[in-house]
Structure 1
Amino acid sequence: MSEQHRPGGTLYVVATPIGNLQDLSERAVNVLSSVSLVAAEDTRHSGRLLQHLGLSKPMLALHDHNERDRVARILAELEAGRDIALVSDAGTPLISDPGYLVVREVRGAGYRVSPVPGACAMIAALSAAGLPTDRFLFAGFLPAKRSGRRAALSDLRAQTATLVFYESPHRILDFVQDLVEEFSSGRECVLGRELTKTFETFYSGSAGEVLGQLQDDAHGTRGEFVVMVRGAPPSDEAAATALDADRLLALLIAELPVKKAARIVAEVSGVGKNELYQRALELKAQ
C-alpha cells in the first residue's frame, strides 16, 4: 500500500554542496526557491548559499542543541500548508548531521517528507577510493578521546565490510595512529581530504604508509577527512591467518623481545598489535 499523507506542507530534505557549488542540483535550487522556510544547521553558512543563488528566505536555526525544541514550530508550519527545506552545512542532512528527530516527528505526524538527493562526502569518497563497496559500514565520527576511539576501533576490527569514518583535521593523525595500533599497519585504507574543493587529495596504501603520507604533507592536517578502511578477511581466512600468526610469533619470541615480535607479526598478518602482544605473552609462558 502506498503511504498516505495528511493535508499540509512538505518537508524537503535537501542535499547541498560539500565544497563545489556546481554540485547543487537544479531540483535543489527549485525547491529552495519555492519553500516558505529554510531550516538550517547554521543560518549564516546557509544564508551565504541562498545569497549566491539570489534567494531571500526566512530561516530557522536547527542544530544538535535545539532540534527537539524546533519540532513544534516545524509541525505548525506544515499544518499551515507551508513547505520547508531542511539543509545542513554541507552534503546530505542527517548523515552525521542534525535532523533525525525532526524527520521522525514529521513522518509520525503524517506529513510528507521528500528527499532531494545530491552531494554526500561518504558516497563521493567511496566512489573514488578503489575499495570494495558491495558492503560498507558508516561509523561517522568516533569519540574524540583516545580511549573511546581505541575502544570503538577495537569493536570494529573484525568487520568484513569496508569501514567509513569522518574525522576532523586536528585529530586525523591521532586517528590514523590508533588505526595502526588497533588494526595493524598493514590494513589497507584510503583517506579523502577536501573533497570536490580546489585542494582535493587522496592518500592510499597500508595504514602505516598513509600515516607517513599525512606526516610528510605540509597540508596533511587541513580540511575535513573521510577515512575508509578495507574490511577484515572473512572468518575462515582470518582463522588461517591466526594460525600463521601464532607460528610466526612462536619463532620470533625465541629470538626477539615480545613487543618487537608482536609489531613485526602485526605488519605482515593484519592482526592488531595489542592482540598479538597478549598472544605472544601467552605463548612465551607455555
Structure 2
Amino acid sequence: MTTGFPLSEPARAKINLTLHVGPPIGNGYHPLKSVVVFANIGDIVEMRPAQGDKSTLVIEGPFANGLASDRTNLILKTAQLLSDEKFDLKLTKNLPIASGIGGGSADAAATTRLIAPENIDQITTDLMAIGADIPVCLRSKTCLMEGKGEQLTPLPNLGSINAVLVNPGVAVSTGEIFKLFDQTKPTSANLAVELPNTTDLMELAKWGRNDLQDVAISIAPEVQTVLDALSEIETCQLARMSGSGATCFGLFSSRDQAVDACAGIKDENPDWWSVATVLGDTV
C-alpha cells in the first residue's frame, strides 16, 4: 500500500466464461446470459480524504498511459455519484484497457466498496448508468449474470480453475462489437436454456460459448491468433475470448500446466500481455 493512502481495495479481473447474447431491447441494451468468474489478479484502487478542495485521481502502473484521470474516468464518476465528500484516489492499472475483462467497471466497483460499502445493494441501479458490469464486479463472486447485467444469481461451490489470460495489445470497442453483432447475427441465442446441473467449473465453461467472439475476430483478427496459440497447447482444455475482447483465456487442469503454458506464450509472443492466474471463488 502506498504511503498516504490508508484504504486499498482490489479490482479483480472479470472473466466471462460463457456469454450468450440476445437481440437488442428498446433502450439498445442486449439481454445477456453469462457465467462470470473473477481472477486473482487485477487493478488496485486506493483512497484517502482529499487534501485539496476537489477529488483527484492519480494513475500508475503498466497500463496507465492513455487512461484519463479527469471526470471521464469511471472512478471519479463513481465517487461523485456516491458522495458529496472529496477524495484523493490512486489507481494502479495492472490490466489492459478496453480488453473485455471489466477493468473500468471493476475499478468503479472497488471505489464503491471503499466509499459506500454498507449501501451496495441500494445503489446498484444508479451504478448501472455508469457501467453495466459494475453490479457483478461489486460482488466479485462466481455468478450467472442476466438481463442487462443487473440480474445476478450466485453460483456457489464451483471452486476454481487454473487459467492463462492473453491480450494481443489490441483495444476493441464494445459498442462497435455489438453494432456489428446486430448486423451479422440474424438469429439470437436461446437465453431460456438452463445451465447444466454441475459442480465442475470446467464442464460449465465447455457447455457455453461466447456469441461475440466471431464478430470480434472479424474486427480484430489478432483475437484468432491468440485463440490459435492457446488451442495449440496440448494441456489447454478450452480457449475462448472474454466479454467483447480482445483478452482470451485458456483453461488448464493444474497450476503447473498454466504456468508452463504462459511461459511458452511469453517466449513466442513477447509483445502480448499474458499471465497465469486462478479463476473462481477460492482465490
Same fold (TM over 0.5): no
Compute the TM-score of the two structures, normalised by the length of structure 1: 0.23
**Of the two, which has the highest radius of gyration?**
1
Greater RCO, CA 8 A, separation 6+: 2
Compute the TM-score of the two structures, normalised by the length of structure 2: 0.23
